[in-house]
Amino acid sequence: MNTNPAQTYLNVELKCDLRNEEYRYIIYSLTGQKMLSGEIGSSITEINVNHLTSGLYMVKVFNEKKIVTKHFSIL
């Protein structure tokens, strides 16, 4: 999973086939507070993070078989 520094949108790019898999995401603050969640509908997904304040966050992308967590920053 690739993430980018974000301002308005966080781009999440998955390097896997989504045809038979259902992925979801959860964004947490570094204190563990759940900030956003939703479904991932394609291998590249834009998540609107415009309402989050500047700082560091974690995004967890998961399905029934895998969990990947990455840190990202909002500028």
pLDDT level of residue 1 (50, 70, 90 thresholds): low
Residue 69 pLDDT > 90: yes
Q: What pLDDT does 3 receive?
A: 64
Q: Which domain holds residue 29?
A: 9-74
How many folded domains does the chain comprise?
1
Instruction: State pTM to two decimals.
Output: 0.87
Residue 38 belongs to some domain of the structure: yes
CATH of the domain at 20: 2.60.40.1930
Alpha carbon distances (Å) from 29 to 14, 15, 19, 43? 21, 25, 30, 24
Could you tell me which residues come within 8 angstroms of residue 38 by beta carbon, excluding any fewer than 6 positions away? 24, 25, 47
